[in-house]
Structure 1
Amino acid sequence: MERIPTIDISPLTNPAGPQYRSTVEQIMDACTSIGFLSITGTGIAPENIDQVRDTVKAIFDIDEARKWDQAITRENYRGYIPMGFFTPNDGSGAADKYEGYKLHFEAAEDAPIRAECALYGPNIWPREVPQARTVILDYWQQLDGVADLLLGALEVGLEIPPNTLRDAFRDPMTNMTLLHYPPQAPEERGYGIHPHKDTDALTIIAPDPVGGLEVQTRTGGWITPDCPPGGFVVNIGDMLELWSGGRLKSTPHRVVNRSGHERYSFPYFAVPRHDVVVAPLLPVLTGFDRPEVHCGHWSAEIWRTNWPDEMATGDTPELGTLTD
């Protein structure tokens, strides 16, 4: 497939309806060919997306010194990511041209799950943008519902028992990254985000109108998703590719912002609960050879190897970074 299809997923809310099966088939066709799709019919109002985008802009408009006061640390990968702070996870290449703000599944200081896995905890919410917590968590909850619908559809399409996938996302490690990409000059080398595959299960993003997201086709070319206003771009990550034995495709993509305008993005990354071990649920396709992964360990390694002076080891799962 050399294009990214747009699919109305509203029939997924009624599994007994006449269009449910055909919608599942469309989703499976996209996910097994190019690994990307644009979706409409989510029930999320465009005004909600606009409100989140305005909130993200306000967060990045905070005074530079105050943003640094809220920066991520090795001990707590939550909060502000300064411009050019991270290189690709494998330590190669130039730093990506973005600043970010990292948010994880919101867990209270005294949440019992924190005794099981140190990666859980409360987020850092910027005091300068008091509406941020409410606006973003409300949007997050709506995307949880969309992800659940899509996972249910994939269970049907893969012909695996109901809730096999969905049950892995109770107390998940789902996270979001708020992103700001300044415009790159036409002759400027490098990327907003380097070519990579997502290591999560499922990514959902409301595309910025200025564009910049590029997806690699099976023939090696790069195309831009054609997503209607109010729609979302969805892509398969490495975890779902592994679960499916290679049937669902985790596809390389990158960001290059040569629009001449500021670009803002806020992707949602669906990641299972910390103790879930992802292994093929079906016989693997010929040529697909990936070891099983422990979600908590994989997430910790992604976190650790984001720091420029940390390197992957023999015990590190694949981290999504690709050579240019």
Structure 2
Amino acid sequence: MTVALITHADCLRYETPDGHPERVARLEHVLLALQDLDLLRVTAPLAAEDDVLRIHPASYLADLRRALPLQGIVQIDGDTFLSPGSLDAAFRAAGAAVRAVDMVLGEEAHAAFAAIRPPGHHAETDVAMGFCLFGNAALAAKHALDHHGLSRVAVVDFDVHHGNGTQDLLWDEPRALVITSQQMPLWPGSGRADETGAHDTILNIPLTPDSDGAAMRAAYTRLALPRLRTFKPELIVISAGFDAHRDDPLAQLMWETEDFAWLTREICAVAAECCGGRVVSTLEGGYDLKALAASARAHVEELIKAAT
């Protein structure tokens, strides 16, 4: 079975100020890196408003729509901006996450990668932050649980920054296991090991600055992978951030491109054991363009290998 690549040109319309790390070129470089791979290429739909309302209140959507400029760029958070195309991009990103779940659970694809922006894992219930507007990974998990009737979904977030939004959105959800590794200390300051959720379904794995891929592999082997196997998810959702790369300018972890490949292989191996290999991945961070492109390609290549 094949791997789906889900994206849309609207995701290139999320504009930020000159010099901002979350820029259009990020997605352009990812798509260029994946262009010669054998993937089922799918156009991301706009998420239905009811989909987004699974995780965000109507008042939050109304606030974003009121803030959306007709021209130019406005700031809504310390580092989060809106341009005229931002909400279309966000609805396409959320739509890609939903479509990815539908395709994988509907056996149209073995796995799916949503190549989208804006990213999502910092968006809390009613707060846009960290470049993020909608919680794409949390939405994928909730869609799988509520629409498809799954009993257990796991989210694995290996972005260098803690997925505070995903943690907030799924804090009270006993059917979702959230595993996140992140550099600590680092913005946004959350992600301590004692943050375990209302039902002990959140596993935070803090990693010290300047630690390398070997430290990550040891932590995942000791903590994350056994917890995944014990939970026995029926679907695994990956928040695929590539800013733990040693060349990334926003953090100080020392992972190499092969570390992302190793981690993807290990997650796919658990998926093969627990849920027929069903994996949905959605793009999060990564701000050195060369490292982002190489790491995203390594990630998707491992998804393809697991599907064959």
* TM-score scaled by length of structure 2: 0.28
Between Structure 1 and Structure 2, whose CA radius of gyration is higher?
Answer: 1
* TM-score scaled by length of structure 1: 0.27
Return the structure number with greater relative CO, CA threshold 8 A, min gap 6: 1
Could you say which structure has the higher helix fraction? 2
